[in-house]
Structure 1
């Protein structure tokens, strides 16, 4: 029994020793090492908080040291804020007597929220530095952030403190109607390329009004936000061919997080919804990415023209069309959780020189889905009067990228001409691509289009692609999605082939 008591006392002594906080330290001598000498916080919009960035600080010496002060050079006035090994210090700006053990390291996490007026007026950079110690032992790590000015559009606050709302699908959602005579922003129905736009909530286009996006317009949607084109309203996107990698004339819809970490994350914002009764829509040179559903059409009001458009990284659908009437040329869609293109509840569709690829990391998604029914609708079936695909690529990461969902209660008319298609073997009469000439002509089945870089949404092809020079001249669109002249016979898909960098 005595030996157990002795062991208990010994264990208690060790435990108490391990809880010491009074380390013997020496003063820092200015020999700290850092994981980087400059921390670049990616571009942010004015007054929107950045992501959190990390700096690691190393003590390579054999001594436990005390750093007398870690602080931002601009002190309490700095727009940066830090935590040092989980400590907040004085408002995240100043930290005194920070202990760093021998051969150990500590983490500093940095964020910023700054206005355009805080930045340098010539380059819009906001800078500061983290200072370690002072005098002869002073060491510094620079902080740099680009602040971007923008037009902010958001629901107003009502007198009772609630937010302005609009009705979508019979539900009140945070939103507002754009005003062509707004006292602050002027004409909110005209999106120019002068400044980017940041939208909170759903921005609605009023009845009998047209929203126009000029070439080079940039629109950023906050989480849960979107664009709602209401009854009898119209949308015109007037992008144009760009001559540089900056896509200076492309119209771009994306989320409002500008950091590179967010560049390809799906679901950062909701959707562009075209309500029943909206009409006369034209989309040219639009790049849309990282939404829940990219474009959602709900009626056959008038023909919708979509040209030279790229849609990527959508949680549900790239394009969802319910009984719509769409003419599409040079469209590229990749990564969608359910379907890149889904045309349901009938309608009328014609797609030429389009690339519908779906490399979503799942097993049940499609590149293209066609249906003439809709559960819960009245009636549940509606005629699919036309669904034509000419000189297209329909491909992806699953074995079956093309899906037909027929209901005998309504017409179902479709045809694929000169298309490259990925589809596993099937005895179903609807998928007899070589013998069913009523629906399929010159189908290239299960051959690799050899896209340049699918993971980066680069769906270009070269001369080794199975889609090279396999198009029908009768369906040719003279230039591709990038404005490059097509050869004869044309390549399949949205892109004219080119040689890739070695």
Structure 2
């Protein structure tokens, strides 16, 4: 009896399986439904591919159907590409006899790579359609993309097939990059970056000795992956915006999903010997290292009213540098918001260094004065000064300040009227933090919205009314610093009253 039951079950399974081998597909009758009637692909730059967007197609009938054609309206000439349920069809643009079971759906994934010349000249929109079937059964879904024109800066390609590269001290392999040109046949003077349209940089744009890269108010600079700026020995970098027209450095992916993704490009690298560098009213975001500053030529560089966000390693990485900074905001860094290493000389006033990177090792501020050789010996440098006045040093970890000295050389630092997040410790290196009237240890600045890089402080912030007058008249928003009982707010922002949720 048991064997009979087993044979019956096996036979039933075989018969069911064989029945499913041959569906009876009927021609589509034009009754497909879609997850959207228009797919908007976010703004892209000329010749830079978009993200992938999704359209879902539904067969809500009780019949298995066959769609004779699914194609892009412009056919093989279309700048869009798509796959249909994983199939590539004819060059990702035309598909024949696509089967769709009853009460089932299929996915179409769409991408675009195009240029501004292909767009409508009045609104810079590039459009097409996904077309289903024809005649009385014709259906369509619109595709719309905004193409943004830009100045494109990239290495030259030579007649022998090689590409322009840079030889950088301390790096064994040539770097994919190029020197800017005062008389470029397309871009004109590449040492002046204006605000009439964005700049898109491939590789490293290099400023040689004796030249100055001047970036004008309102300029927007977008870096491709593994790209940045290198300012050489004897060269200068001046990015001077205004309160109303800030200069913005970011990646070249314009889709909302990339708005806060760290590590999309490399760095602004001010190499050893670069001179007279100035940065004011600038936003730097989504890099590996925001500002990479090697030893200057002996003069202090200035960084004012500057915001640096979402650096996968460090927001400001200084090495034997000389920096005067005020109204600086740095938030999120994989290692540190600010790292002053290999000694140097630093003076920071009314700065906010916060780090809420999701690990247990990152800090807001790191100070050290040496590097370790492969043999284990330290090479030390003087930390002449590292002065922090009216600053906030905060973050998600218990200890947001790390001091890492080699005592064979000077290691001078001071924190005056600062809010510092720092837990308990028996390490005497940090004994000055405790019971110090100049330090508000573990106060809560109560930032407006850390996740969205809004480090404004409110009326109930512990950073309110604790600082001295250090000569910075306005905050990063241009608001006059008003005292509370004769004392000034800490950090880059004057306090405000936030609206109720």
For the residue of structure 1 that corresponds to 2:11, the secondary structure is: helix
For the residue of structure 1 that corresponds to 2:492, the secondary structure is: coil
- Tell me, yes or no, if structure 1 residue 395 matches structure 2 residue 394: yes
Match of 2:316 among 292, 304, 319: 319
1:127 Cα shift? 1.2
Change (3 A) 1:10 1:414: same
- Tell me, yes or no, if structure 1 residue 349 matches structure 2 residue 350: no
| Partner Cα separation in structure 2 for residue 421 and residue 433 of structure 1 | 12
Change (3 A) 1:15 1:234: farther
Change (3 A) 1:435 1:448: closer
Spell out, residue by residue over 1:301-338, the C-alpha distance to the aligned partner (whole angstroms, 9 max, x if none).
22110001111111111011111110001111111011
Residue equivalent to 2:475: 480
| Partner Cα separation in structure 1 for residue 437 and residue 206 of structure 2 | 43
| Partner Cα separation in structure 1 for residue 405 and residue 369 of structure 2 | 6
| Partner Cα separation in structure 1 for residue 215 and residue 36 of structure 2 | 41
Residue equivalent to 1:73: 73
| Partner Cα separation in structure 1 for residue 68 and residue 96 of structure 2 | 6
Residue equivalent to 1:86: 86
For the residue of structure 1 that corresponds to 2:284, the secondary structure is: strand
Residue equivalent to 2:266: 270
Spell out, residue by residue over 1:386-430, the C-alpha distance to the aligned partner (whole angstroms, 9 max, x if none).
111111110001100001011110111111111111011112222
Residue equivalent to 2:410: 411
For the residue of structure 1 that corresponds to 2:257, the secondary structure is: helix
1:17 Cα shift? 2.0
Residue equivalent to 2:459: 463
| Partner Cα separation in structure 2 for residue 74 and residue 293 of structure 1 | 43
Which residues of 2 match residues 121-200 of structure 1 at below 5 A? 121-168=121-168, 169-171=170-172, 172-200=174-202
Change (3 A) 1:448 1:434: same
Match of 1:490 among 488, 492, 497: 488
| Partner Cα separation in structure 2 for residue 352 and residue 323 of structure 1 | 19
CA contact 1:300–1:347 (8 Å) conserved in 2: no
Residue equivalent to 2:256: 260
Residue equivalent to 2:356: 359
| Partner Cα separation in structure 2 for residue 456 and residue 355 of structure 1 | 15
Residue equivalent to 2:294: 298
| Partner Cα separation in structure 1 for residue 9 and residue 308 of structure 2 | 67
Spell out, residue by residue over 1:101-150, the C-alpha distance to the aligned partner (whole angstroms, 9 max, x if none).
11111000001111101111121111112122233333222111110111
| Partner Cα separation in structure 2 for residue 412 and residue 14 of structure 1 | 83
| Partner Cα separation in structure 2 for residue 221 and residue 241 of structure 1 | 23
1:486 Cα shift? 1.8
CA contact 1:383–1:411 (8 Å) conserved in 2: yes
Structure 2: give runs of 5+ residues left out of the alignment: none
Change (3 A) 1:447 1:6: same
For the residue of structure 2 that corresponds to 1:460, the secondary structure is: strand
Structure 1: give runs of 5+ residues left out of the alignment: 243-248
For the residue of structure 1 that corresponds to 2:429, the secondary structure is: helix
CA contact 2:422–2:441 (8 Å) conserved in 1: yes
Which residues of 2 match residues 228-239 of structure 1 at below 5 A? 228-239=230-241
CA contact 1:353–1:476 (8 Å) conserved in 2: no
Match of 2:335 among 319, 334, 338: 338
| Partner Cα separation in structure 1 for residue 489 and residue 285 of structure 2 | 25
Residue equivalent to 1:245: none
| Partner Cα separation in structure 2 for residue 300 and residue 385 of structure 1 | 14
For the residue of structure 2 that corresponds to 1:10, the secondary structure is: helix
Match of 1:368 among 359, 365, 369: 365
1:209 Cα shift? 0.7
CA contact 2:434–2:441 (8 Å) conserved in 1: no
| Partner Cα separation in structure 2 for residue 206 and residue 14 of structure 1 | 78
| Partner Cα separation in structure 2 for residue 210 and residue 326 of structure 1 | 19
Larger CA deviation: 71-80 vs 446-455: 71-80
Change (3 A) 1:12 1:162: farther
| Partner Cα separation in structure 1 for residue 378 and residue 48 of structure 2 | 47
CA contact 2:129–2:142 (8 Å) conserved in 1: yes
Residue equivalent to 1:10: 11
| Partner Cα separation in structure 2 for residue 273 and residue 178 of structure 1 | 15
Spell out, residue by residue over 1:60-86, the C-alpha distance to the aligned partner (whole angstroms, 9 max, x if none).
222212222222222222211111111
Larger CA deviation: 488-497 vs 223-232: 488-497
For the residue of structure 2 that corresponds to 1:456, the secondary structure is: coil
Give the TM-score taking structure 2 as reference length.
0.93
For the residue of structure 2 that corresponds to 1:106, the secondary structure is: strand
For the residue of structure 2 that corresponds to 1:370, the secondary structure is: strand
CA RMSD of aligned residues (A): 2.1
- Tell me, yes or no, if structure 1 residue 36 matches structure 2 residue 32: no
| Partner Cα separation in structure 1 for residue 458 and residue 434 of structure 2 | 29
CA contact 1:177–1:204 (8 Å) conserved in 2: yes
